[in-house]
Copies of this chain bind each other. A is one copy, B any other.
Amino acid sequence: MSHDNFPDRVPPQPGLKGVLDALKYGPDGLVTVVAQDARTGEVLMLAHANREAVEKTLTSGLMHYYSRSRRKMWLKGEESGHVQKLVSLAVDCDGDALLAKVRQVKGACHLGFRSCFAFRIAKDGKTKVVGRKVFDPGKTYGKKG
């Protein structure tokens, strides 16, 4: 038994409050979230969530994150319409990272790619765009966001 491990911190019948309590938030109050396409397995993006965003994600079924630059919770797709519907949520062994399997409308990336991980890095440092463009960000966003 070690309280470093998530399963040892979860009470037997946690309820939503119990499981939110058992997550390990960083000094900034955030956990890391990986969003993965539930159908294809493609990793779409990495973002952060505060306790409120995790709760809102679970209760609404739509991915909510916390923007470190804007310092507030946001609904993914609130401007673009490219929401992510939650299919399932998992937490890792130490409880500081979440894996969300989602149905992504159009694309996750603000540059217009399906996945934010659009740039391959080779061993010699050469980079290559490998992402699939699925929308025109100029037409989708008033500004980057």
Contact = CB atoms under 8 A, between A and B. Distances in A.
Given A111-B93, A119-B6, A32 B46 contact: yes
Interface residues of A, number: 53
A127 B93 CA distance: 12
Interface string A94-120: 100111000000000111010011111
Interface of A: 2, 4-7, 10, 14-20, 32, 34, 36, 40-43, 45-46, 58-59, 61, 88-94, 97-99, 109-111, 113, 116-121, 123-127, 129-130, 144
9 contacts: A6-B119, A18-B125, A19-B126, A20-B125, A34-B46, A46-B92, A89-B120, A94-B116, A99-B117
